[in-house]
Amino acid sequence: MSIVHPVILCGGSGTRLWPMSRKSYPKQFCALIDEDSLYQATARRLSGEGFAPPVIVTAAPFRFIAADQLASINIAARDLLIEPEGRNTAPAILAAAYWLARDHDDALMLVTPSDHVIIDHFAWRQTIHDAQPLALAGDIVQIGPQDTKIGPGLILAKVSTLLHAFQTHAPELVEIVGTAVADARHDLDFHRLASAFWGDLPHLTVEDAILGKAANIKRIAVAGIWADMDYWVDIRALGKADPAGNICTDRADAIDCTGSLLRSEAQGLHLVGIGLEDIIAVAMPDAVLVAHRSRSADVGRAVERLMVQHVPQATAYPREHRPWGWYESIAIGQRFQVKRIMVKPGGSISLQSHTHRAEHWVIVAGTARVSIDDEVRLVTENQSVYVPLGAVHRLENPGKLPVMLIEVQTGAYLGEDDIIRYADLYARP
């Protein structure tokens, strides 16, 4: 059969699986089931014989997360497209179709969300295989679960077929999206779609744009392949519960509990439930959710309340991802903050200075190259360095292993916007 060109939609934001899933780190990037995130599991399914490298469509805040998570499982994307802003699935799919059409407009394009949970991988692949003749004949094949609340599932079609459907049924998208692809600019390992007029696009799903209008839609509904993963209560459907119906992670224990989910995502924090019945308890380093299973669908309401109160945990993830690695706050007090920082191999913090704070760095793993004003030196494990207020400085990882360090900030103002950048490997302002 023909080679299938996967398109993975990797935008959006998550609140229903809070506190793990948040606006700055939505559920597709979370390891909800095993060591892989839902996005990584999707990429694995779409790799190997019969599949071309995937095209990823994502938003700017997620671009480095998306790239790093693929790299960590040794999967290379064909291209990673960055939308100027989210406009739902129709513009994203149309942009990917125009992108693939540059090389081969009769290519078979398979569109999939990045957050699906697939139970039967063999049946999933076989269904895609069986759908190819329909797509090659000019149909738009919608492959999905019998339970329509999971969403439209997959879309398999020739690129030319999809483009014709959009031109016929959603012409209001065509010119703006086509121009955004034609004028896309290369940015490091990404391609930024041109932003001119993108904001004028309607928020439009692919269902409303073409699937509900075109006459050449073929729908294949299959049972036993998909699992819903919109709410915490859905994890029980994966069959990982103990005889009492409890699901516990490695850092959680259930004593005389029934039907409960106990999950700790914080190192050094062990969660114990005693005598609980039908309770969901999810502990993160900065937030804890406790709810009755019957109220799982109300988690989004809790996030809305936190947002009204301007609680950072409503949207911000405790680990902030950057192109060079990540950092997380360990302790915050008056005029000081302590962070744990990871700089990946080849990563480099920008050449910068601070107006209001000084910093102490203690290297706990790896070897860093540190520049402070005119001095450059290597700093290894168990060594430390002081960065005075106002000093122009940079930390790089020249090695093949991650650099881990503890940063102690002291000063009158410790906000992330107290940065003056002089040079940056990642072209940030």
Q: What digits encode the pLDDT tens for the residues 346-405?
A: 999 999 999 999 999 999 999 999 999 999 999 999 999 999 999 999 999 999 999 999
Residue ranges, comma separated, of all CATH 3.90.550.10 domains in the chain are 4-227
Q: What is the pLDDT of residues 78-117, one digit of tens each?
A: 999 999 999 999 999 999 999 999 998 899 999 999 998 9
Cβ atoms of 331 and 406 closer than 8 Å: no
**Contacting residues for 74 by C-beta, under 8 A, at least 6 apart:** none
Cβ atoms of 187 and 82 closer than 8 Å: yes
Instruction: Give per-residue burial for 21-59: e unless 16+ CB within 10 Å, then b.
Output: bbbbbbbbbbebeeebbbbbbbbebbbeeebbbbbbbbb
Strand 217-222, strand 319-322: pairing: unpaired
Cβ atoms of 216 and 140 closer than 8 Å: yes
Mean pLDDT of all residues in the chain? 93
Question: Sign (positive/negative) of CA torsion 166, 168, 169, 171?
Answer: positive
Q: Is the peptide bond before 318 cis (omega within 30 degrees of 0)?
A: no
Q: Which residues pair with 128 in a beta bridge?
A: none
C-alpha to C-alpha distance for 95 and 80, rounded to whole angstroms: 12
Residue ranges, comma separated, of all CATH 2.60.120.10 domains in the chain are 319-423
CATH number for the domain whose boundaries are 319-423: 2.60.120.10
3-state secondary structure of 6: strand
C-alpha to C-alpha distance for 128 and 366, rounded to whole angstroms: 45
In terms of residues, how long is the chain?
A: 429
Mean pLDDT of 155-172: 97
Predicted local distance difference test score (pLDDT) of residue 228? 74
Does residue 227 carry a pLDDT above 70? yes
User: Alpha carbon of 127 to those of 142, 207, 213, 225: distances in Å?
Assistant: 11, 21, 24, 10
C-alpha to C-alpha distance for 429 and 424, rounded to whole angstroms: 8
CATH number for the domain whose boundaries are 4-227: 3.90.550.10
User: Alpha carbon of 334 to those of 169, 266, 408, 411: distances in Å?
Assistant: 58, 24, 13, 9
Kindly state the tokens that stand for 94.
Answer: 């149309």
User: Alpha carbon of 421 to those of 283, 408, 417: distances in Å?
Assistant: 36, 20, 11
In single-letter form, the type of residue at position 391 comes to A
Kindly state the tokens that stand for 252.
Answer: 């959680």
Neighbours of 294 (CB within 10 A): 10
Q: For the residues of 142-177, what is the DSSP string, one character each?
A: EEEESSGGG-S-EEEEEHHHHHHHHHHH-HHHHHHH
Kindly state the tokens that stand for 237.
Answer: 């459907």
Kindly state the tokens that stand for 128.
Answer: 């895609």
Does residue 148 carry a pLDDT above 70? no
Predicted local distance difference test score (pLDDT) of residue 229? 83
Of 140-154, 159-173, 406-420, the range with the lowest mean pLDDT is 140-154
